[in-house]
Structure 1
Amino acid sequence: MKLKPFMALLVMSAAVSGAWADDSSNITISGFGTAALTRTNTSDAEFARPNQLAGVTTDAKTGVDSNFGIQVTAKANDWLSFTGQGLVRKNVTDNFGAELAWAFAKAKVNDNLSLRLGRVGLPVYMISDYRNVGYANTMLRPPVEMYTQVILESVDGIDGIYQTAVGETNITAQLSYGVTDSDSRSSYTAKFKKLSSLNVVLENGPLTLRFGRVDTNVTVDNSANLNLLVGGLRKYGYNAAADSIAVQDTKASFTSVGLGLDYKNIVIQAEYGKRKSATLAIPDTSSWYTMFGYRMGAFLPYVVHASAKQDSPRTVAGTPTAGPLLAYTYGANALASASPIQTSNSLGVRWDFHKSAALKLQFDRMSPENGPGTFINAKPNFAGSVNVFAAAVDFVF
């Protein structure tokens, strides 16, 4: 649900305060934010977070890595509570806008099981629930090679969270089911139905292991470019090619595993994921990253290597090979090859200068292959590696 800037936060706060004004002790308000500056060393393409409409080049800007969020939880009794989270950031417009990220009722069934109904976080990745809370993460931002594979962050529906312990191992299992949609920077909306997810986390002392799986059916019916290509190919008898790029109730999935280790001064985090779909317009991909850090008092320097590659063909079979219909071939192949192929190496340092604030500096050397990679608005001559520089202050309250 998209709202005008700050309206989500105001509406949520007013509604909660009005409903629970007679017992303010049951209301908890917390917040988080990141104030950042980001720039690159090229003007031939823009670096952006997933699904941002515009990014940054050689002039430092605040919009790419900055955000602000407020979360309100109202406790009705020992077993029922209501939570809303508003988030301000740049997404599919080039202006800061507010969105209602979470809005759910939570029922505690017993000491192990909780049910949530409404808009809940979708556990796609290892840091899904706090991916927008910079202070909770070692890195300045999650590696874009991994986190562009699935840009969904929430689902409208229901989930169940079960927690238990086996010996010294804590186990958390989460099942979600619902629907959602996602606006694209290309002015279309992807609609996700029958969306189910499984998230299992095992924690034993300093070690965390995670397995995740998301399955859904996706439809894109308002993309002028896709409709033109599919309709044109079918009009001229290239039905198999049209079917291979159509996105109509198409099955798609994302499977991932993750590892985290925080032992004495050593900090390690790694993820691996595979995206699959039944259409070449949503290419199959593999992505991964590994981060190593070493804590020295209030300072935590770290290094990261990340990679993303495409597993499905980057051309569409059965399209026209000559004549005026070649435009359909070029268009279909552009869809099939749109997934980023890229590696990156990053150096960074986190300084916890306050109990609720941290300064981060990060340098990324990103190397796209066979296209612009994760960069957007690229000029025709764009090629080679790009340096990305960022400084940020993360805070919570």
Structure 2
Amino acid sequence: MRKSAMVALLGLLSAAPAMAQQDIRFSGFGSIGALYHDSDYLGFHRDYTMEAVELGWSTAADTMLGLQLNADLTDQLDLVGQMVFKNRVSDEVSDNLEWLFLRYRPNSDWAFRVGRLGLDLYMLSEYRDVSYAYSWVRPVPEFYNLISSISRYNGADVSYRTRLGDNIFEAKLAYGSNDAALQGAEQQIDIGLDDITALTLSLTANEWLLRASIANASATGENYQTNQLLFALRSIPKELWPDAAALADEIAFIHRKSRYYALGAQYDDGRWILQSELGYTETDWRLLQPYMSGYISLGRRFDNLTLFAMVASVQNTEDAEEIATPPSLPFLPAEQQAQLLALHGAAQYSYHASSLDQTSYSLGARWDFYDNMALKFQWDHTQIGDYGSSLWVRDFPMAHDDSVNVFSINLSFTF
């Protein structure tokens, strides 16, 4: 994260013990998971902030530990800090810090927070790493992989909550910035988000929870391979490829406007659990085509046993652009033709690298065998379309469709 923000947040935490008068509480959560998948050339990761696991069994994908501190500083002011340790791409200790914020509640309706926060963009916003809090082994990859990887931010939010008859309405407005090290499909990328603005509306009505979210940000990212491609394109003489420099400007990931929209609904009457979310993401960066993502999950509780089934999908709404070959090709010597075609291929490759086309079918069970402990089993069968495997880690985009099976067992707990 940005150094100045990190210093400020750590200063906030160090000052808390001196400020607190009473009521400091420590709690935690975690999961011990084992996962098996059967793909020889695709690596699975829970989200983009985590390292991928290869063919066979692994405990790295779903094993994590969270520690949380809640301190009531006054009747209206409290501090919350949360550390989550998992198999991250980043080796920075500070990146384990998920939350560190001060919250001021002048009354029961209003709340103001400042510090390191999580964007309230989806149903699991407050507990996506707390596996014990939901039936599945992990958040749905098709919906959560990307947006949950970049939803932590440094900034502030304000929320207003009120009763509408027997229902509760809440509105939350957030603003801030974020940076993160992410493991993309073929390489690591360092991404920064500025001017993040997000609005979330929710309505709780008896057994129902309804949500709507909208967010936008300015995104910048870079990695070594892309920098090399940009340098090569900008070095080509205009007479050999007139559009090369303009193409490099399109590929460069600098201050790209991104927008996100989501709707969610949950029904839970104690026996049946129905939950669904639908999201749409668009950006003016042409290498990331707009996409829709969503899922629907149905569960049934039988005392301490819950059975569930789910369908989830993510699809681009536009095809990747096809780049015209340089018009000078027929007039060049064979060696120069080969060099220019190789560069054209690399540029075209970058347009396909982020393509999304996959659907998963899941079955699972949760057994609450002890207080604050649950054992979960889940099978996911994922069908991937041509060039649509960018939720996975791979050596190159697959030009053919494929399928992957993932088997998971998970022990989740809180304390």
The reply to whether TM is greater than 0.5 is: yes
- Larger of the two Rg values belongs to structure: 2
The alignment status of 1:301 with 2:307, answered yes or no, reads yes
1:226 alignment counterpart? 226
Amino acid at match of 1:32: F
2:7 alignment counterpart? none
The alignment status of 1:166 with 2:164, answered yes or no, reads yes
d(CA) in 2 for partners of 1:115 and 1:17?
A: 17
Can you list the C-alpha shifts for 1:137-185, whole angstroms capped at 9, x where unaligned?
1211111111123221311011011111111211111110011112122
The alignment status of 1:180 with 2:186, answered yes or no, reads no
The alignment status of 1:389 with 2:407, answered yes or no, reads yes
d(CA) in 2 for partners of 1:96 and 1:364?
A: 32
Does the 8 Å contact 1:155/1:178 carry over to 2? yes
Does the 8 Å contact 2:2/2:179 carry over to 1? no
Written as runs of structure 1 = structure 2, the 5 A alignment for 1:46-61 is 46-52=43-49, 54-61=51-58
- State the secondary structure of the residue aligned to 2:188: coil
Can you list the C-alpha shifts for 1:38-81, whole angstroms capped at 9, x where unaligned?
11123332211121554334432111011110110111111111
2:6 alignment counterpart? none
Shift of 1:355: 2.4
Amino acid at match of 1:230: L
The alignment status of 1:349 with 2:365, answered yes or no, reads yes
Match of 1:118 among 109, 115, 119: 115
Corresponding pairs, count: 388
More off after superposition, 194-203 vs 325-334 = 325-334
The alignment status of 1:367 with 2:366, answered yes or no, reads no
d(CA) in 1 for partners of 2:220 and 2:90?
A: 22
Match of 1:40 among 22, 37, 42: 37
d(CA) in 2 for partners of 1:184 and 1:40?
A: 22
d(CA) in 2 for partners of 1:199 and 1:87?
A: 25
2:217 alignment counterpart? 216
More off after superposition, 372-381 vs 177-186 = 372-381
Amino acid at match of 2:151: E
- State the secondary structure of the residue aligned to 2:230: helix
Written as runs of structure 1 = structure 2, the 5 A alignment for 1:30-109 is 30-52=27-49, 54-92=51-89, 99-109=96-106
More off after superposition, 341-350 vs 319-328 = 319-328
More off after superposition, 329-338 vs 171-180 = 329-338
d(CA) in 2 for partners of 1:105 and 1:349?
A: 38
Mark the runs of 5 or more structure 1 residues left unpaired by the alignment. Answer: 4-10
Does the 8 Å contact 1:122/1:155 carry over to 2? yes
1:253 alignment counterpart? 259
- State the secondary structure of the residue aligned to 1:391: strand
1:6 alignment counterpart? none
- State the secondary structure of the residue aligned to 1:341: strand
- State the secondary structure of the residue aligned to 2:320: coil
More off after superposition, 365-374 vs 132-141 = 365-374
% identical aligned pairs? 28
The alignment status of 1:278 with 2:256, answered yes or no, reads no
Relative to the length of structure 2, the TM-score reads 0.86
- State the secondary structure of the residue aligned to 1:272: strand
The alignment status of 1:339 with 2:340, answered yes or no, reads no
Can you list the C-alpha shifts for 1:73-104, whole angstroms capped at 9, x where unaligned?
11111111111111100121599996110011
1:196 alignment counterpart? 197
d(CA) in 2 for partners of 1:335 and 1:129?
A: 34
Does the 8 Å contact 1:315/1:332 carry over to 2? no
- State the secondary structure of the residue aligned to 1:283: coil
1:8 alignment counterpart? none
Does the 8 Å contact 1:320/1:328 carry over to 2? no
- State the secondary structure of the residue aligned to 1:295: strand
The alignment status of 1:28 with 2:21, answered yes or no, reads no
Does the 8 Å contact 1:202/1:208 carry over to 2? yes
d(CA) in 1 for partners of 2:256 and 2:188?
A: 20
Does the 8 Å contact 2:105/2:111 carry over to 1? yes
d(CA) in 1 for partners of 2:135 and 2:121?
A: 19
- State the secondary structure of the residue aligned to 2:344: helix
d(CA) in 1 for partners of 2:342 and 2:355?
A: 20
Can you list the C-alpha shifts for 1:311-369, whole angstroms capped at 9, x where unaligned?
23313445637532223332233222223311110000111112211111000001111
Shift of 1:124: 2.5
Amino acid at match of 1:356: N
d(CA) in 1 for partners of 2:209 and 2:39?
A: 38
Amino acid at match of 1:396: T
Does the 8 Å contact 2:13/2:100 carry over to 1? no
Amino acid at match of 1:244: E
Shift of 1:264: 4.3
d(CA) in 1 for partners of 2:14 and 2:199?
A: 32
1:145 alignment counterpart? 142
Shift of 1:30: 1.2
2:18 alignment counterpart? 19
2:333 alignment counterpart? none
More off after superposition, 173-182 vs 363-372 = 363-372
The alignment status of 1:328 with 2:343, answered yes or no, reads yes
Q: Using a 3 Å threshold, how does the CA distance of structure 1 residues 378 and 263 change in structure 2: closer, same or farther?
A: farther
CA RMSD of aligned residues (A): 2.7
